[in-house]
Structures are given as C-alpha cells and as structure tokens.
Amino acid sequence: MYRWVWQVEAPLHLGMPPAGLLNRTRLYVPARTLLGALTAELTRAQAKGPLSPNDYEEVARKLGRATRLTYLFPAQRKEGKWLAWLPRHEEGKGLVWRREDGRGPVADREFRRWLLTTRAGTAIDPFSDSALEGTLREHEVVQPWSRWGEGSAPEPVFLLGYVFVRGEDGGAFQVKELFLGGETRYGLGRVRRVNLEETKRGGGFFSEVHLEGEDLEVCTQFLLAHLPAAEILKTPPASMSGALEQIAGWQGEKPWSLSLGWAPGSELKEGRCWRIKEDGLWSPAT
C-alpha cells in the first residue's frame, strides 16, 4: 500500500457535464483517467515499433492485474506534510470539503473558487481563419497554484491518492510524469510525481484497510470513488445521501458508460467496507 503525490504543473481539465457554454471540470482525478494515462505513458515508453490498440490493451491488463488505484484528490503541503482535501456530503450543508487534518468544512462552491480559473477557446473556420460561429466556449481548469483560502502567497496544488500493489507494480512506479484529462495536446494536464511512500495507514481516506483477502477492501463512511447505484441495491437496505450522476468514457476503442452512480462524497449513514475494482469503481464488500 503506497501513498503517492503528484504536483500539478499545467492547468488541468477533467471533464464533467457542461453548464451552457462552460465546460466544467472535476476537482479530482478518477481512477479510470489515471489508469488510462499510466497505460498510455508505459505503452509509448516500451514501444519498439509502430503501436496498435492491442499494445495499449496488454499494458492496461498488466496494470489492472498488479494494482488497484484510488482517485486523486486536491492536496496542499503544510509543515512538510501533504494533506488531501476530501469531499463530504453533510446533512444541512450539502457537498463540502474537509482537509485530512480536520480543517473545514468548506462549501463546494467556495472550494472551486480556490482552485479554478477558465480558459476561452473556439474552433477556427478554415475558410475565413476566424472563429467558427457558435463554437466559442470556456473551459474550467484546475490551476497549478492556489492561496487555499488563507490569503497568503500562492502555493502549489498537488494531487494525492493511494496505489495498492501485490507483487510487481505493473510498471506504475516507473512513471514520473503524466498528462491527465483533456486538451493535453495543447499542453494541459501535466503532473509530476513528487512523493511515493509505503504506508500501512489510510490517513483521512479510510478508517480501515484489509489487504489479506483475495479482494482489497477499504472501510469508510464517505465514498471516495463512484459506486454504481445498482450495486447498493444488491446489499441489505442502506441509507445513502449525496449526488447521483452518469459517467461515460472509452474502453479501448469502444464507448463505455455507467448507467447511474453515486458520486464521491456521498455518505452511507452506517459506514461500510468496499472493494476497489480494477477500473477504480467501488462495490460493497460482502
């Protein structure tokens, strides 16, 4: 079990449903996004000739067998320690963010103000070399620097999470730099790994971690990954509160979607242990 930290070195856009002309961004990196970026980097680094989709799929399978990844959450460095800010759905307050050492809560709207800015963009009409009508948009991005609501000088923004390894790491620890999210061909999404340390504690992420069984299990009251809504219906009745959303993406060359899922920060009143799947989604532990 390792805790790793990545420094945001270029604006980061992690797509979510837009609001009008604004392409909104998530504040966290889903495990699927991280797995895809690791797969791409390792496949290209190991290439000895032209690449095919099968090359990427083979590296992805190797990583999936060797590791389980958590989502990456915003983090800041205080007194030599990296501390993540984690989402929580609290009664009477809605979605808030709390730091691992207990600072908070900070309302989601305020927290987004700490981290985000926007970049304008448009498609170019090749015949007039001007903006194509109807394509002007703004993209939210996570900035590499933030004052963290403290009014001090800007400080670096980091991303923090856990990686669980059994035996070989599948090449994950060889990667020191990644490009995450959208618009990476325009220089966005560059992150650099600044820390990797083995640990036996879940920090503010998990109350318990069980590594002994066949399936990795973590215990927490609040979700820190997407949970398919259908999964919770298979278990004894549970009181969930939070946000439901549909997520979609690509699995190789094919589209992939989750019909409906509980978003990170959603709360299960009774608390529970969860299995981390190969793609980073969670399911209830039996």
The pLDDT tens digits of the residues spanning 148-190 come to: 998 888 999 999 999 999 888 888 999 999 999 988 888 899 9
Check the CA dihedral 233-249-23-4 and report its sign. Answer: positive
Residue range 259-285: average pLDDT? Answer: 87
d(C-alpha 39, C-alpha 25), whole Å: 22
Q: Is the dihedral of CA 181, 12, 227, 69 positive or negative?
A: positive
Structure tokens at 258: 């989750």
Of 13, 10, 66, the closest CA to residue 38 belongs to: 66
Mean pLDDT of the chain: 89
CA angle in degrees (0–180, nearest 5) for 68-192-164? 15
Whether the per-residue pLDDT at 232 is higher than 80: the answer is: no
Q: What is the pLDDT of residue 36?
A: 92
Provide the percentage of residues in the chain whose pLDDT is more than 90: 49
The C-alpha atoms of residue 174 and residue 38 are separated, in whole angstroms, by 10
pLDDT band for 12, please (50, 70, 90 cuts): very high
Statement: residue 15 has pLDDT above 60? yes
Of the chain, the percentage scoring pLDDT greater than 70 comes to 97
Confidence of residue 224 (pLDDT cuts 50, 70, 90): very high
